[in-house]
């Protein structure tokens, strides 16, 4: 595990500065060493890498982590950034039946796919690894935002195959959903947490559908969807309580050498990136 720690934890330097660009901590705010990283990651079934979508350092470290893990055990990757109904196009790309232009024209890729996610997909392509489109198609999240979970009942069976099985379990007291609801009070946003829950439930369902015992599923998602072991992690543990889920979150700070107490418990591993690192978009 030494090579992995070297890539994740050793200081990378910005020009004209003496501090590290990024520092990796455990969930209690202690800097990790080889033994700690091995302990946290070695026994995982699923790793949820929570990112800030425009954080270029986090994207680079995702590729480093994926490359290192692919050398150690059977690896499956997946991402929030590709929706379930684009799996066929993604699979054709992985099988080298179409090129990057063909994938872009066949799937609804994020605008930062070429810089931030294509390297991950290309790693899977070159290594012959599965890469799973896990997120619910946005049109269904929009349906729930406008009409609640009941709106999904109107879908034909052919479309329900792209979302987690109905009915969607939902606990409005989960802190991340409760905070969303509180923030939208008086603005007609009562269904916003449900739309987020549909995304989380579908991503968890997609992971469970493709994970196999003895393998590791490395999933890339916005930190919101896995912080505090909520979101995707909540649905995974509800479905499979014995599943060993490890979470990583990404935060930024003026000085990565200082751990803010507000980050304590946010994830099993906390990646603190210098806030001056340029964004990818």
Q: What is the pLDDT of residues 47-95, one digit of tens each?
A: 999 999 999 999 999 999 999 999 988 999 999 999 999 999 999 999 9
**In a domain? residue 265:** no
CB 124 within 8 A of CB 94: yes
Q: What is the token pair recorded at 251?
A: 């935060």
Instruction: List pLDDT tens digits, range 158-169.
Output: 999 999 999 999
What would the mean pLDDT of 179-188 be, rounded to a whole number? Answer: 74
pLDDT surpasses 70 at 104: yes
Residue 239 lies in a domain: yes
Confidence of residue 39 (pLDDT cuts 50, 70, 90): confident
Higher pLDDT, residue 53 or 37: 53
Query: What does the alpha-carbon distance between residue 200 and residue 226 come to, in Å, rounded to a whole number?
Result: 9
What's the rounded Cα separation, in Å, for the pair 135 and 225?
11
**What is the extent of the structural domain holding 148?**
32-251
Measured from the Cβ of residue 22, the count of other Cβ atoms closer than 10 Å reads: 23
Counts for the chain of helices (H) and strands (E), in that order: 11, 7
161 CB-near residues (< 8 Å, 6+ apart): none
Is pTM, for the whole model, over 0.75? yes
Residue 22 belongs to some domain of the structure: no
Distances 21 to 34, 268, 271 between C-alpha atoms, Å = 19, 20, 10
What DSSP letter does each residue of 227-281 carry, written as one string?
GGG-THHHHHHHH-TT--EEEEEEEEES-TTS--GGGTTS-SEEEEEETTSPB--
What pLDDT, in 10s, does the model give residues 214-263? Answer: 999 999 999 999 999 999 999 999 999 999 999 999 999 999 999 999 99
CATH number of the domain at 121, please: 3.40.50.11550
Beta pairing class for 22-26 and 269-274: antiparallel
Residue 102 lies in a domain: yes
* Residue 199 pLDDT > 50: yes
Q: How many domains does the chain have?
A: 1
Comparing 180 with 19, the larger pLDDT belongs to: 180
Domain assignment present for residue 91? The answer is: yes
Q: Does residue 261 sit within a domain?
A: no
Handedness of CA 135, 137, 141, 147 (dihedral sign): negative
259 located within any domain = no
**Residue 90, in any domain of the structure:** yes
């Amino acid at each position: 595990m030494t090579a992995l720690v070297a890539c994740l934890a050793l200081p990378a330097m910005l020009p004209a500065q003496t501090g590290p660009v990024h520092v990796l901590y455990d969930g209690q705010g202690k800097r990790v060493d080889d033994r700690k990283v091995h302990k946290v990651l070695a026994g995982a079934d699923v790793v949820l890498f929570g990112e800030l979508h425009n954080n270029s350092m986090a994207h680079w470290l995702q590729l480093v982590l994926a490359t290192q893990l692919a050398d150690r055990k059977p690896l499956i990757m997946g991402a929030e950034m590709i929706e379930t109904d684009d799996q066929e196009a993604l699979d054709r790309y992985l099988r080298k039946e179409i090129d990057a232009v063909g994938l872009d024209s066949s799937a609804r890729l994020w605008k930062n796919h070429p810089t931030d996610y294509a390297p991950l997909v290309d790693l899977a392509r070159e290594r012959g690894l599965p890469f799973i489109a896990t997120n619910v198609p946005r049109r269904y999240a929009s349906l729930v935002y406008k009409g609640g979970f009941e709106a999904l009942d109107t879908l034909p069976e052919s479309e329900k195959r792209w979302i987690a099985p109905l009915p969607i379990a939902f606990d409005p007291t989960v802190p991340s959903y409760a905070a969303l609801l509180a923030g939208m009070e008086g603005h007609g946003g009562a269904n916003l947490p449900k739309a987020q829950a549909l995304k989380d439930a579908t991503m968890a369902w997609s992971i469970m559908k493709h994970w196999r015992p003895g393998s590791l599923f490395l999933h890339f998602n916005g930190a919101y969807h896995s912080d505090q072991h909520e979101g995707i992690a909540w649905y995974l543990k509800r479905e499979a309580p014995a599943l060993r889920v490890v979470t990583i979150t990404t935060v930024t700070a003026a000085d990565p050498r200082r751990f803010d107490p507000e980050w304590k418990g946010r994830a099993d591993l906390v990646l603190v990136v210098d806030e001056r690192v340029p964004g990818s978009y």
